[in-house]
Amino acid sequence: MKILLFLLVLLMCSQADASDNELHLGKFSAGDLTGWKEQTIGLLKPKTTYNLIKENDRTVLVAHSIKSASGRIYTLNLDPKEYPTLKWSWKINHTIKKGDEKTKAGEDFAARVYVIFPRGFFSKTRSICYVWANKLPKGEHVASPFTPNIITVAVDSGEEQAGRWISHERNIHDDYRKFFGEEPLRIGGVALMTDTDNTGESAFGYYGDISMVRSEKVPDVKHKGQKARETPPKEPKVIDQNHKVMPPNGEPTVPNSNTPLVGPKPEATPQMEPNPKEQPVDTAIPPPPAVPTSPAVP
Instruction: Count the Cβ atoms, other than its own, within 10 Å of residue 84.
Output: 23
pLDDT at 23 over 80: yes
Pairing of strands 210-213, 141-143: unpaired
pLDDT tens-digit series, residues 90-109: 999 999 999 999 999 999 99
More confident residue, 257 or 119: 119
Distance, in Å, from the CA atom of 123 to the CA atom of 135, rounded to the nearest integer, reads 28
CATH class of 2-244: mainly beta
Cβ neighbours around 159 below 10 Å, total: 11
- Looking at residue 219, its pLDDT comes to 59
Mean pLDDT calculated for residue range 165-188: 97
58 alpha-carbon distance from chain centroid:
25
pLDDT at 20: 62
Domain boundaries, the chain: 2-244
Tell me the backbone φ, ψ of residue 186, rounded to 5 degrees.
Answer: -75, 155
Q: Do strands 2-3 and 243-244 pair parallel, antiparallel, or not at all (unpaired)?
A: parallel
Would you state the pLDDT for residue 25? Answer: 96
Above pLDDT 70, what percent of the chain? 66
Q: What is the pLDDT of residues 243-287, one digit of tens each?
A: 443 433 333 333 344 433 334 444 444 444 444 333 333 333 344
